[in-house]
Structure 1
Amino acid sequence: MTPRLFALILCAGNGSRAGSPIPKQYQMVAGHNLLYYSIAAFDACSEFTQTLVVLAPDDVYFDPCHLGALRYAIKHCGGKIRCESVHNGLLKLAEFGACASDWVLVHDAARPGITPRLIRTLVAAVWDDPVGGIVAIPVVDTLKRITSSKCATIIDKSSKLRISSTEPRDYLWQAQTPQMFRIGILQEAFIQAKMCSDAATDEAFMLESLGYRPQIVQGSMRNFKVTYPEDFALAEAFLTHKTMY
């Protein structure tokens, strides 16, 4: 039987670093909330059997009125951390007929710059791959390691950080989503790894921990993850520029 395509959109985080009074995926940008753009991109790809949105169990912000006639389903099965949300979402896909040999594309709701063209580029590149793959972009900035562990979340502007070293950027790529894997191999990764921790920041990591080497497919700067307050303006600039790359 020909494998089918399923999409899993993760929408269970609270986005605390975004400085928004509501979870960032529900923040309005260019006329729609961030979640809308992710669902719309997959909705435009009619080859997908089902798009499932994973919500937090206590989500009170989701409103279908903001999503119009887009095709999707929802499940309030999100976990406290990312990998729990993915694992729970994979289990729920079985209710829609998904099986081990089918493909799943896992995507972050906070990446509204995803386009149908990028989705189809990933699918075409990975379809016959024995492992699967992800979209990513090469690192172009100089990377500095600092002495504090607070570099990713620091809010206090008065704190003084010091560089401890400069890291080589050769062969480094910045992972994005979607990440595309067979449902069965991804579920097996969760079982064998026996781990769901903050260290598992994407699905590729789970497979890498078992020795797999997922494929890399060129992504796009447009497909960045909205994380900080200033990112909303950047997302709006991308989203108001009508492009399908």
Structure 2
Amino acid sequence: MPVLLSSILVKFYMENLPIQSYADFAFGSTHQQFALKALSGHYTELSEKKRTWELRALERVKSQLDTHCLQLVEHFVTSGKGTAGFHLCLVTDLLGETTSLSSPTAKRILRHVLRALASMHERGMIHTDLKSDHVFFENILTSTEIEHTLSENPPKRHEAEASWDGAVQAAVSQPLPMPALHDFATRRLVLGDMGSAQPIDSEQRTTSIITPPALRAPEIFLHGPWDEKVDIWSFGCLI
């Protein structure tokens, strides 16, 4: 009998996960690895009220050919602990962090970012939070390699901290190993974190407070009308 991925996550992982903040999590299985992003109760409520666009943005760019946007595998909502409310969970491809690279490789990364932006814009979405932290390498490690990495570097947690619902231990960020330099020339880059995405249609937007100040387009500072070109301004600032 087929088993939903969300059912497995809720039973074996989410029930014991102290989610109190907007954060990213990852888990491994014997067959395939995914990334799990669990939104706080507040962000989940905003999503249900259609005040944030992350889930809808991921759904719009899902399964497009030659896409360089983060791909949504599944999503579900699970209850949190105490007053934490409910949590929208986004299951996506497992990716790796970025690092300093040579000029030719950097150009390749920028080309992939432009393709991702074009894909989003064609589907009526603006990223609005383009920065280097949101560009990831495609994961090409096998399940065996990832399991070996996890066995040598088991998941860790910070010291327990007091909260409204008792002691909470946050997970320590433990990125996957960086690829070798010779892999950079062929590795696909992916634009992720669409938590601040907004529709191109201005009547559907939920905020005009967008983009980190250092990468923010002039029209945002001037409180004027804006569109998908704000992403291109941010892209130029990254270069």
TM above 0.5, yes or no, is no
- Which one scores higher on RCO, CA 8 angstroms, separation ≥ 6? 1
Q: When you count helix as a share of all residues, which structure comes out higher? A: 2
Question: Normalising by structure 1, what TM-score?
Answer: 0.32
Question: Normalising by structure 2, what TM-score?
Answer: 0.33
Q: When you count strand as a share of all residues, which structure comes out higher? A: 1
